[in-house]
Every structure is written in structure tokens, then in C-alpha cells.
Amino acid sequence: MIETFELTKHFDNFVAVQDVSLSVRTGEVLALLGPNGAGKTTTVRMLTSILAPTAGTARVAGFDVVRQPEEVRAHVGVLTEGHGLYLRMRGREYLDFFGELYGLDRAARQQHGTQLAGRFGLADALDRRLGEYSKGMRQKLALVRAMLHDPPVLMLDEPTSAMDPHSARQVRNAIRDLRGDGRTILLCTHNLPEAEELADRIAIIRQGKIIALGTPADLKTRLLGPPLLELRLAGAVNGVAHDLSDLVEIESQGPTWLRYRTPAPEAINPQVIYRLAALGVEVVTLSEVPQSLEDVYLRVVGEEERV
Amino acid sequence: MATLAPSVQQTGTGLPRWLALAHWNVSRALIVTRREVLDMFRDWRIVAPTIVLTVIFPYIANWGAGRMLSFVERFGASLIGDRLIPFLLMVVGFFPISFSLIIALETFVGEKERRSLEPLLATPLTNTQLYIGKTLSSTIPPLMGSLLGVTVYLVGVYRNLEWVPSATLLLQIILLNLIQALVMVAAAVVVSSQTTSVRAANLLASFIIIPMAFLIQAEALIMFWANYTVLWLIIVGLVVVMILLVRMGIRIFNREELIGGEIDELNLLGALRQWLALTLARHGEGPRRSAWQWYRQEVLAVVGRMWSAMGVLSLAMVVAYFIGLRYADVYRIPTELFRTEDWFARFQLTMEQAGLTNLRGVLWVLSQNTRVLAVASLLAVFSFGVLAIMLLMVPLGLVGYLNAHILIAGMDPMLAWAALFPHGMIEIPAALLAGAAAVRLGATVISPPPGKTVGEAWMEALADATRLWFAAVLPLLLVAAVAEIYVTPWLVGLVAGGR
């Protein structure tokens, strides 16, 4: 549903996006992560035919972003970085305006608008002016605007920013439902737990280039290495590391715990337990240390891993 | 799902495709227009002054006209009063129009500052639909205000003074206000779509306000002069300007620059470097070129790119020549001034006394011609090339005028050719080249080549013009100056029998 091949964008002497090649299937959620200025917004703008690429090609919903810009925009719903609402308009009017721009007839505009607004708890606020809305309400209305014309592709830039936890949960549920409906979603976010929760795959972009692409599990394995296991003992560690040195390489240790990595935990862990039991060392727990997407992200964009 | 342009079959209207498409474009544009007009009337900062200008000010103008009329009549100067009333009709109609400039300046760049532009750009609206929608939204409310103001004024003037304008005058005033509004809006929308802040747009508004202010003063003079026919010429001229500005606006409308942030940055050094690089036209890669190869590829090729500008200018020069011939009948120089013996002797004496029979003369002619062509180039930048064409028509008009007088005086027609040919056959092509380059500089702003921004296209046109000047125009002007000082007088003397 979204295909890019060596998509590149130059602004004068500055390379904003370079050789970005992505393929997002129908019904897939791809999260685009990256530091500020990495090229996420520029990529989204090229995919919505607002900016023309300097080089490379892209097709969205089967349409070429350069040769068929109106068709692309008709099949894409965009939640932009700034919500961009007209503050003197009422909510209902605002949705009616954009629905008309997207070619919906009056009945469809009213029905979709009311339905979507209700889904996000905005039904009672539709007759109020947008200037009276809170930040979270504005963000939700902008999301409703993006979904109004039932597009097969959604590009969401920070969809849950400025939202309280309840509202953010509503939005995430909506995104899951959309994926279930077969929508394709490109999600730009700094919220790593959200990306991990929602995305089928994650692309990390830095200085305009995709530097990592894969499922969260793939990325963790590929970039962080084998699983990290923590062994907690009832007593002090005292020489246990040496006793296990032929089985595992201890990565770090504390007064009563050890951590090690192994590519084959199913084979190695029982041996470790057995060896400690034979030595009379009491084991409290042996568990995997959760490795977060944040660890992946920080490793990939060049900062130190936090353990 | 969003719908796009319908085919003729889908419209079911049976209209020709171009008409169906135009109808569809306008209906889409009106969606934007409707929203913006409604939004405007929710802003008290627009509504309050509009009410003042459309209701209160015409009433005051009406009251003032009545008082002025009775005052001047006491001194037998009723003519002033008679001319004042139609003049105030024009003023009352124009003041609400002035608001269109402010609304239009803000229309794109204001949305950009409020970050509401990108969602609009992300819809299936085409550039043309968006542009037309915003232009109409900036024009309709002020026009409505203008008509309302004119109506209030006319009702008051009729009730108090029993004055009714002629249908022609009323039509002229309404058309003038309409076209002036459209010109200001079209220019303001161009400015708004090319700047990145409301502040920058307001500063650039001076380029719109000042010419309009001069125009209004000229119209005021015309109103007091009561030669209302001239107003039709102004209307026609403004229509042409409006069409050029709208075309320019649509052509250079660029979504990318609208949401970019770098347009307002002034980098003179960078611009100078770019101009130098483009002018020298060095290509880093590829084999080294000889001087002739460079000349052929970078100078003669420029001439090829200017063929349309050269065509227009050539036509204008020919027309100017014939206008000169025609006006020789209207504005006659006394024939006795063309007595050949005295004329040639006086001419030689004048030239000698001015020191123009030697190298100094060559330099003077060269500097004069260079200055004229340079001024034409400068004027072209600010007038889409129009003033450059007009300026270069003047000498050819004069040539036609003088040639006609030579014939009227019964002199040898060869004299006209002798006085023109030796230097003219070099000077006119030089003027044509420089003039065409100037026209291209001005016209590039209206219609840059596809795929290039206005700045890029203009810089390339400037570099081409620079190369052409140094590699062709100046050398030709130098040779022409030598011919004009040393060859032409000799040939004229030969034909006239003075030597």
C-alpha cells in the first residue's frame, strides 16, 4: 500500500531524506522513529504529495506521489504535526468543511463526523468553537478529520501527544481497530512504548536515512544481541562467576545477582541451574531482563545503553 | 472515499469537457471561499471597519459633498462641486476595496503561521482550486462593501442633491473598483504565497500600495478633468495586469515553498556566487571547451532560448516605426528645417563643437546606448518586461518619424537609409538582443519554466543576460558606435553630396 524506492529530498545544500526505501503492506502499522530533524515529517510530506521528491519514487494506495498527487491525497488521511484547526469554527462546521473537500456528500459528512467524534468522546463538543477546546480535544478532532473520508492509508504524526492517558488509550484502540479493518498506517512518534505496542514493524530514521527496520523483536535481537538473563541468588555472589565461566560470560554483577547473555537459553539455563545446585548455591530467580525499544533506539542513534 | 474530477459522462451534463472541468474547479474553489468568507465575518476586526467604510463613510462623503457644493456655488465655482460628486463616488467605492489587500496578504501566509495550511494542502484540492478559492474569498467581501458604499452614497446624493450618475459613469466606477480589487488581490496573493511570515508580506505590500496610490491620484485628476473616456483605457490596462498577475500566481504557486521556512532568508553572497557560477557557465565535468565552443554553447544558445522575446520585441519595433511614420502627418516639423546643404553643414559643425567626431564621440555614443539598454533591463524587472518594450520602441518610432519627414521634404530617400544603415544594422540587433534578454528577465517572474522556482529561473535569466551583454551586446554596441561616428556621417555626406 505504501512503496518507496530510494526516496530522496534535498533542500538547497541540505539532504533531508536520503534513499529511503520502504514497503508497507495493507493492514500493517509501520512506526517511524527518529530524533528531531531526522526526516520523518519530510518523508510523510512526500508520501502525501505535499513535497516533491528530489529523487526516487513512491506509490501510495497504488498512485504515484509525483504524477498523481490529487489521487494520493484523496486516499490518505493525515494527522499533521500541528493540529491546524480553524479556531473560530465550530467542530461540526470544521468536519463538514473537510468532508466536503474530500468529496463526501452532506449525509456522509454528518454521519461519519458524528460517529467518529462520538468514538473519541467529542460528540457533545461538536457545537462548540474550536478555540474553546483543550489541547487534547483539538488533537482528537484533528484525528477525526484525518479519518473522516475513510481513507485506506493513514499518516499519523504524534497522534497521542498532548492527550491524557484515557484519551491516549482511546486513540490507540482506534488505531488497532483501523489496522483490523485493513487500513495501512504510518505512525510517526517519539512514544517508544506506544510504537512497540501498536507497530507491526519499526523503521528508525536518522539524518534522513533508514538505519534500522524490522519488527520490535527482530530489532531487539539484531541490535541488542541475545536475551539478557538475570540470576538472583539467596546469598552473596562470591566466586560464582568463576564457577560458571565455562558455561556463560558474565556481563555484569551485583552483590547478589549476575547477568549474562546466551544465544541458547533453553540449553544453557538448565545447565547453569544444575551447576549452582551442585555447588550448593541457592537460586532465587532466573529471569530475562526486559529489553525495551528505547534500548534499541538509543543504541541505534548512537547514545549509551542504559542497563 | 474522496471523489476527484468527474468525467463528462459522470457529470451527465453533456457539457464540453473543458467547461465541465472549469465548473468542477470553481465549485471546489468555492468550498474554500465559503469557509473563509464566513470566518471573516466572525472577526470583529474586519466587520467593524467594513461597517464604518460602507455605511458611515459614504454618509459623511454625501454630507460633505452637499456642503462643498453649496459653498462653491456662492462664489460661482459650481464646476468644482459638479466634479467633486462623481469623484467622491469613486472614493467611496474604493475605500472598502482597500481591505481586500489586507485580507489577501494574510490568506496564505497567515494560515501558515497558524499552522492550518498543511491540513488544507493535504486534501485533494489542486493548486488552481486553492488559489482561486482564496482569491475569491479576498475579493468578494470588499466588493460587496464597495457596492453597498456606492449605493448608500448614491441614495444620499439623490435625496439631497437630486444627482444621478450616467449609466456609463456608474458602470465605469463599478468596473474600476472591481478590477482594482482583483489586481490588488492577485498581487497580494502572489506576495502571500511567496513569503513565510505576515510581517514580510506586509512589508512587500508597499509594492502594491504605492502604484495603486499613484493610480488613484491619476484617476482623481481624470475625474476632475471629466474626461471619463480615459477611464476605459485604465480599465483595459488593469484587466491585462490582473490577468498577468493571476497567471503568475497560479504558475509560481508552490506547495513546497508555502510550507518551507527558508524563503525570507537573504543570502546576497550566495546569490552573487550563484550568479557568477551561472554566468561563467563552467562545467566541472566533461572535456575542456575551447573559447569558440564555450561561445557557441553558452552565448549563441542563449539567443535560441530568447526567440519568443525577440519575436515580440521585433514586432514592437516594427509597429513603433510605423507609428512614427503615421504621426509625422500629425506633428509636422517645418520643411525648411530639412534643407540639405545647410542641414548637413550645421550637423557637421554641431558634431565638431561637441567633440563627437573622434574617439570621444565613440565613447559617448557607446555610453548612451549602453545606458538606455541598461535602464530598459532594470525597468523590465519591475514591469514584467512591458516597460522595456515601450522604451525600445521610442527610438524606432523616432526613426520612422524622421524618415517620414525626409520624404515629406522631398529629399533623397536614400538619405534616410544612409543616416541609419551603417550603425543601425549593428545597433538594432544589439538592442534586440539586450531588449529580449530584458523582456525575458521580466517575463520569467510571471511564468518560470516548469520544475524551477521563480528565483532559480530568474537567476538563470540574469546569468544569460549577463553573458549576452559581455559577449555580444557590448562588442556590437562598440562597433556600432565606431560606425556611427566615422562611417555614417561619411555615407550621409556622400549621399547628400556634401563631401
Q: What is the DSSP string of B258-301?
A: HH-S-TT---HHHHHHHHHHHHHT--SSSPPPPHHHHHIIIIIH
Q: Which of A50, A93, A149, A153 to probe the B interface (max B CBs under 10 A)? A: A50
**A–B: how many Cβ contacts below 8 A?**
89
Of B4, B42, B255, the CB nearest to A50: B255
Residues of A within 8 A of B256 (CB-CB) are 50-52
Q: Would you state the pLDDT for residue A68?
A: 92
d(CA A239, CA A253): 11
Q: Which residue carries 482564496 as its cell?
A: B134
Of A75, A78, A151, the CB nearest to B119: A78
Q: What is the pLDDT along chain A (307 residues), one digit of tens a residue?
A: 899 999 999 887 788 899 999 999 998 999 998 888 888 889 999 999 998 898 999 999 999 999 999 999 999 999 987 778 999 999 999 999 999 999 999 999 999 999 999 988 889 999 999 999 988 888 889 999 999 999 999 999 888 877 788 888 888 888 888 888 888 999 998 788 888 888 999 999 888 888 888 888 788 777 777 788 899 999 888 888 888 888 888 888 899 999 998 888 888 899 999 999 998 889 999 998 887 777 777 777 765 333 4
Answer whether B265 touches A (CB < 8 Å). Answer: no
d(CA A174, CA A170): 6
CB neighbours (10 Å) of residue B235?
A: 16
SS3 content of chain A, % helix, strand, coil (to 5): 40, 25, 35
Residues of B within 8 A of A80 (CB-CB) are 115, 118-119, 122
Answer whether B35 touches A (CB < 8 Å). Answer: yes
Full-model pTM: 0.74
- Structure-block grid coordinates of residue B233: 483605457
**Are B256 and A48 within 8 A, CB to CB?**
no
Residue A197 Cα, gap to closest chain B Cα (Å): 27
**Are A100 and B31 within 8 A, CB to CB?**
yes
Q: At residue B210, what is the residue type?
A: I
Answer whether B122 touches A (CB < 8 Å). Answer: yes
**Are A73 and B123 within 8 A, CB to CB?**
yes
Mean pLDDT of chain B: 82
Residue A196 Cα, gap to closest chain B Cα (Å): 27
**Are A84 and B117 within 8 A, CB to CB?**
yes
Q: Would you state the pLDDT for residue B78?
A: 73
Residues B183-203 as b/e (b if ≥16 CB within 10 A, e otherwise) read bbbbbbbbbbbbbbebebbbe
Comparing alpha-carbon positions, the chain A residue that sits nearest to B24 is: A103
d(CA B91, CA B220): 9
Q: Which of B121, B264, B452, B456 to probe the A interface (max A CBs under 10 A)? A: B121
d(CA A167, CA B30): 35
d(CA A298, CA A212): 12
Residues of A within 8 A of B28 (CB-CB) are 101
Strand partners, B63: none
Residues of B within 8 A of A76 (CB-CB) are 122
Residues of A within 8 A of B118 (CB-CB) are 50, 78, 80-82, 84
Residue A101 Cα, gap to closest chain B Cα (Å): 7
Of B2, B119, B255, the CB nearest to A80: B119
Comparing alpha-carbon positions, the chain A residue that sits nearest to B34 is: A97
User: Which stretch, A70-79, B53-62, B149-158, B171-180, has highest mean pLDDT?
Assistant: A70-79
In order of A8, A54, A192, the CA distances from A207 in angstroms are: 12, 16, 19
Reference B372, options B430, B444, B314; nearest CA is B430
Q: What is the largest CA-CA distance in chain A?
A: 78
Chain A residues with CB under 8 Å of a chain B CB are 11-12, 45, 48, 50-52, 70-71, 73-76, 78, 80-86, 88-89, 97-98, 100-104, 142, 145, 149-151
Residues 78-117 of B with CB under 8 A from A: 114-117
SS3 content of chain B, % helix, strand, coil (to 5): 80, 0, 20
As a whole number of Å, the CA-based R_g of chain B is: 29
Q: Give the H or E element holding residue B212.
A: helix B206-225
Mean pLDDT of B30-50: 87
Compute the half-sphere exposure of residue B382: CA atoms within 13 Å on the CB side of its CA: 7
Compute the half-sphere exposure of residue A184: CA atoms within 13 Å on the CB side of its CA: 15
Answer whether B304 touches A (CB < 8 Å). Answer: no
What confidence category does residue B11 fall into, taking pLDDT thresholds of 50, 70 and 90? very low
**Are B115 and A12 within 8 A, CB to CB?**
no
Query: Residue B373: left if φ>0, alpha if ψ -120 to 50, beta else—which one?
Result: alpha
**B208-221 residue pLDDT tens:** 888 888 888 888 88
Domain boundaries, chain B: 15-260, 271-497
**B240-297 residue pLDDT tens:** 888 888 888 887 777 777 776 555 566 778 778 888 888 877 655 567 778 888 788 8
Residues of A within 8 A of B262 (CB-CB) are 11-12
**Are B2 and A52 within 8 A, CB to CB?**
no
Q: Would you state the pLDDT for residue B216?
A: 86
Q: What's the DSSP call for residue B470?
A: I
Residues of A within 8 A of B117 (CB-CB) are 84
As a whole number of Å, the CA-based R_g of chain A is: 24
Q: Would you state the pLDDT for residue A305?
A: 33
Task: DSSP for B150-180, please give it.
Answer: HHHHHHHHHHHH-----HHHHHHHHHHHHHH
Answer whether B4 touches A (CB < 8 Å). Answer: yes
d(CA B106, CA B44): 16
Residues of A within 8 A of B3 (CB-CB) are 74, 103
Of B5, B116, B125, the CB nearest to A101: B125
In order of B5, B13, B14, B26, B130, the CA distances from B21 in angstroms are: 7, 11, 12, 9, 15
d(CA B349, CA B339): 15
Task: DSSP for B349-363, please give it.
Answer: HHHHHTT-SSHHHHH
Q: In what order do the strands lie in the sheet with A228-233?
A: A250-253, A257-261, A228-233, A283-288
Q: Would you state the pLDDT for residue A273?
A: 92
d(CA A127, CA A108): 18
Of A74, A82, A86, the CB nearest to B124: A74
- Structure-block grid coordinates of residue B278: 551561472
Residues of B within 8 A of A84 (CB-CB) are 114-120
**Are B123 and A100 within 8 A, CB to CB?**
no
What does the angle CA A176 – CA A179 – CA A180 come to, to the nearest 5 degrees? 90
Q: In what order do the strands lie in the sheet with A209-214?
A: A76-79, A153-157, A184-188, A29-33, A201-206, A209-214
**Are B2 and A12 within 8 A, CB to CB?**
no
